[in-house]
Amino acid sequence: MDDDATNSFRRMSSRTRKVAPKMVAALASSDNRSQAALARLEALENDNAGLELIENIDDEDASLDDDEQAYIQKRQSKGTKRKTRQAKALEAKKAPKTFMELLHEASLESLPPHVPSYIKAAVGPPSSTSRRHFCTVCGFAASYTCIRCGVRFCSCRCQNIHNDTRCLKFVA
Amino acid sequence: MSNVVVLDNGGGLIKAGFGGDLDPSVIIPNCLYRPLSAKKWLHPSPISISTTTATATAAAEASSDLDLTSASVRRPIDRGYLINPDLQRDIWSHLFTSLLHVSPSNSSLLLTEPLFTLPSIQRATDELIFEDFNFASLYVSDSPSLVHFYEASRRPTSLLSRAQCSLVVDCGFSFTHAAPVFQNFTLNYAVKRIDLGGKALTNYLKELVSYRALNVMDETFIIDDVKEKLCFVSLNVPRDLQIARKPGKDNLFRCTYVLPDGISYTRGFVKNPDEAKRYLSLTDEASSPSLGVKNDVIELDVSEKTENRKKIDLTKNEFDLTNERFLVPEMIFHPSDLGMNQAGLAECIVRAVSSCHPHLHPVLYESIVLTGGSTLFHNFAERLEKELRPIVPDECKVKITIQEDPILGVWRGGSLLASSPSFEAMCVTKAEYEELGSARCRKRFLH
Ligand SMILES: [Zn+2]
Ligand SMILES: [Zn+2]
């Protein structure tokens, strides 16, 4: 763990951030902005929203019931060691499917049209498409869009703050 | 004479206790967590019942004896559904053995399950209950019907009770449902769902604070507390955005949250609670009726103090909030602001009602019941009514009631049902399960 147990805030801010592979892929794809928007929505359902955890969730989350595995995970998340083959095998055996995977397997699309299902219960798109945009820096009505990441801002001032410190830094 | 364990197995909180009791005996987060100081995944400690209502905070209570700064969390439930039975077994085992002190083989179980649970998940759940825990019998129910059942018995003279019909809006941890209930059964062909709940709101608040003040992306428990203590629903978004950019004392929304320092306090807190409550003095007088309208009309005042925010000060252990306080719950009313292609809550309700027989429409609009932890934001019902009224037919009355305790309402309905004389006959016994299997037993619960 952190040896410099100074105060909690330092512990938070000293964490280094790695961009999760999904995000990297999303951002490198041809349609950066819509991909990034999807990744962002996806992230709203994450349990451990810190980016470094996103990459652990899929493959390591389920295998941590005892000390030893927790230890393996810790080393992994710091990026110092590669996974042992044994740890990998354990994960493959124990990782639970995500809800989206289970949903896919259930193939609800093949149900007759009158049968209510998870898919049919979705509320559907809004009738009016007037999307309001709020500046991600200050929260006020925003009329401009960052060409790199698609995030909104309201003014030059907020644009500068965005470019300097925030662009592509978090899932957004 | 067996006792009935009533288990409202939420994605955020487990509410558990005994049929016939007024309140659950145990409320506990449905997760394991690992604080930075721990090598193992730990069970959270139970939350005291008296604090679940109003502004009390689940997360902070749970962490009373532990510093949850940057703790990781594992949940058995993903998007509302049980996807990790092994983890749920762990949590239930702790619950039954160490907290409720029950012996499942001598007990019946009333379990709540979300609407539209996939057959594969139902099967895994039944295996847990009958094969791992050996419960004597089981009844599975959904939250809307239990909420209706409870409200109908609590208010026997109400329209809801006389017509045996209500529209239950359950805005919980994982998602939000508008569910018409008729004669104690949820009309699932008419149910509509928004894929937003308390978890997404907390994550959105994390994102906003991390963007604007300091990095709290790992602070689920702290930001849960911030959300529960400081967020509210705006009755007039354009007006409130204006107020939120005012400097000094005129800014009724500005308040400060202090993060735990890990030394003198392990929980965060609102720096000046009176300051944080100033927004309550706002009345709805001058509000415009066009809430859904684009608010590009707010003119920009780029020149000076529009952004009164302090520079990010890394030595400080606190951050300010202003418009985040209402922009977060705003998502439930306008998911499209976030780029989600889903209608907001008012439209969701209208679509659910419209899917029912026209005879039911007036009764449904007049018997809207709000439940679930995410309806606890100040002004939630008022805002909903404001958005609903213009899109509901004129001849229909709109009446929204919020449950006395939106976190415990489902459980209380379950407790009431479990103590009713017909309950035992509604259950599936272990022997029946062994003979018929999961799928056929499940059919029993649908009428
Ligand atoms: Zn701005
Ligand atoms: Zn950008």
Q: Which of B267, B239, B263 is nearest to B253 (CA)?
A: B239
| CA B223–ligand 2 middle distance (angstroms) | 24
Residue A148 maps to a domain: yes
Query: Residue A49's pLDDT is what?
Result: 58
Q: pLDDT tens for residues B159-194?
A: 999 999 999 999 999 999 999 999 999 999 999 999
Determine the residue among A1, A40, A132 to mutate to test chain B binding: the one whose Cβ has the most chain B Cβ atoms within 10 Å. Answer: A132
Tell me which chain A residues have a C-beta less than 8 angstroms from the C-beta of B119.
106
Residue A150 maps to a domain: yes
Residue A19 pLDDT greater than 50, yes or no: no
| pTM for this predicted structure | 0.83
Q: Which residue has the higher pLDDT, B219 or A63?
A: B219
- Contact assessment for residue A54 and residue A46, using Cβ atoms and an 8 Å cutoff: yes
Residues 6+ apart with CB under 8 A from B368: B166, B167, B169, B349, B398, B399, B400, B401
Tokens representing residue B117 in the block: 């649970």
Over residues A141-165, the mean pLDDT reads 86
- Contact assessment for residue A115 and residue A107, using Cβ atoms and an 8 Å cutoff: no
Residues in chain A: 172
User: Of all residues in chain B, what percent carry a pLDDT higher than 90?
Assistant: 70
Residue A21 maps to a domain: no
Residue A149 maps to a domain: yes
Residue A147 maps to a domain: yes
Handedness of CA B50, B54, B55, B58 (dihedral sign): positive
Q: Which residue has the higher pLDDT, B95 or B297?
A: B95
What's the pLDDT band for A86 if we cut at 50, 70, 90? low
Domain count, chain A: 1
Alpha-carbon distance of B320 to B209, in angstroms, equals: 9
Residue A89 maps to a domain: no
Alpha-carbon distance of B173 to B307, in angstroms, equals: 33
Alpha-carbon distance of B65 to B406, in angstroms, equals: 26
Touching B: A residues 39-68, CB under 8 Å: 40-41, 43-51, 53, 61-62, 64-67
Handedness of CA B267, B272, B233, A35 (dihedral sign): negative
Residue B14 pairs in a beta bridge with B9, B28
In sequence order, what DSSP letters do the residues of B227-247 get, joined into one string?
HHHH-B--S-HHHHHHHHT--
Alpha-carbon distance of B228 to A80, in angstroms, equals: 38
Q: Where are the alpha helices (DSSP H) in chain A?
A: 8-13, 21-28, 32-43, 51-60, 67-77, 85-94, 99-106, 118-121, 156-161
- Contact assessment for residue A126 and residue A147, using Cβ atoms and an 8 Å cutoff: no
Touching A: B residues 245-304, CB under 8 Å: 245, 259-263, 292-296, 298, 300, 302
Over residues B54-79, the mean pLDDT reads 69
Domains, chain B, ranges and CATH? Answer: 3-142+407-444 (3.30.420.40), 147-196+341-402 (3.30.420.40), 198-282+315-336 (3.90.640.10)
Q: Nearest ligand to the C-alpha of residue A164?
A: 2
Nearest to B343 among A11, A123, A140 (CB): A123
Handedness of CA B206, B304, B233, B250 (dihedral sign): positive
Q: pLDDT tens for residues B387-432?
A: 999 999 999 999 999 999 999 999 999 999 999 999 999 999 999 9
Residue B381 pLDDT greater than 90, yes or no: yes
Residue with tokens 């359950």: B170
Nearest to A47 among B73, B237, B245 (CB): B73
Query: Residue A53's pLDDT is what?
Result: 40
B86 contacts chain A (CB < 8 A): yes
Q: Where are the alpha helices (DSSP H) in B288-388?
A: 324-327, 330-333, 345-354, 361-366, 380-388
Over residues A38-48, the mean pLDDT reads 84
Residues 6+ apart with CB under 8 A from B148: B160, B166, B168, B181, B184, B369, B413
Residues 6+ apart with CB under 8 A from B377: B231, B232, B233, B329
Residue A165 maps to a domain: yes
Residue A152 maps to a domain: yes
What's the pLDDT band for A57 if we cut at 50, 70, 90? very low
| Angle in degrees, CA B38, B42, B45, rounded to 5 | 120
Residue B233 pLDDT greater than 60, yes or no: yes
Q: B124 to chain A, minimum CA–CA distance in Å?
A: 12
B210 contacts chain A (CB < 8 A): yes
Q: Which long-range contacts (CB under 8 A, 24 or more apart) does B103-106 make?
A: B104/B5, B104/B133, B104/B134, B104/B135, B104/B136, B105/B134, B105/B135, B105/B136, B106/B2, B106/B3, B106/B136
- Contact assessment for residue A8 and residue B261, using Cβ atoms and an 8 Å cutoff: yes
3-class SS of residue A124: coil
Range of the domain at A151: 134-171
Could you give the dihedral angle defined by the CA atoms of residues A158, B210, A75 and B200, in that order, rounded to the nearest 10 degrees? Answer: -120
- ipTM of the complex, rounded to two decimals: 0.86
Backbone phi and psi for residue B63, each to the nearest 5 degrees, phi listed first: -100, 15
Tokens representing residue A165 in the block: 């410190």
Q: Nearest ligand to the C-alpha of residue A32?
A: 2
Q: Where are the alpha helices (DSSP H) in B106-233?
A: 119-126, 143-154, 159-163, 198-212, 220-230
Cβ–Cβ below 8 Å for A96 and B84: yes
CA distances from B275 to A140, B32, B250, B310 (A): 22, 35, 11, 18
Query: Residue B316's pLDDT is what?
Result: 65
Tell me which chain B residues have a C-beta less than 8 angstroms from the C-beta of A49.
203, 206-207, 217-218, 220
| Angle in degrees, CA A102, B123, A114, rounded to 5 | 65
